[in-house]
Amino acid sequence: MRFAEITSIAESNIIEGPSDDDMVEALTTILNHELKSADNSADMGDNKISFVELVHTMRNLGHVIDFGSFKQIYDMTPSIQNLIKNFDKDFITLNTEEEIDIDVSDEANIDEPSQNTVDTMAKRALKKRT
């Protein structure tokens, strides 16, 4: 690519602003990076990123994004939907393989379905022995 071509592309981005495709690509790249970082982390809870942090990162890349435009991009882009488990105005929860440990000593957690299944099976097995 010649210098003149690069300059004309840069000028068009400055005058017209980056395209929507550029914004989706930048958002996908950021989310992929955060997802890989969360998967490689040993700390629990690293699968959440602040929405403010995402807005700041996108602004550094030359893209202005707010919650409404993020939701619109999310609804229209299946590749981004695959990267995100859940989101709200404060946090984006990435779709990692992170499991949440349930503290069964706390009575508030007894209603967890998977834990109740195990408890029921154990009680049934105990009844058969006695």
Domain total in the chain: 2
- Average per-residue pLDDT in the chain? 75
The residue segments making up the domain with residue 64 are 3-98
Residue 104 and residue 94 share a domain: no
User: Considering Cα of 63, then 66, then 72, then 26, what sign does the dihedral take?
Assistant: positive
Domain CATH number, residue 30: 1.10.10
Q: Are residues 67 and 119 in the same domain?
A: no
Looking at the fold, whether 79 and 114 belong to one and the same domain comes out as no
Provide the pLDDT for residue 105: 58
Instruction: For residue 91, give every residue at least 6 positions away whose Cβ sits within 8 Å of its Cβ, in sequence order, or none.
Output: 48, 49, 50, 51
Alpha-carbon span 118 to 81, nearest angstrom: 32
pLDDT tens for 2-40 read 445 444 544 555 445 556 788 889 899 888 888 888 777
List pLDDT tens digits, range 97-118. 655 555 555 655 555 555 566 7
Rounded to 5°, the CA angle 126-128-129 comes to 65
Higher pLDDT, 111 or 123: 123
Same domain, 71 and 45: yes
User: Do 49 and 111 belong together in one domain?
Assistant: no
Asked if residue 106 and residue 94 are part of one domain, the reply reads: no
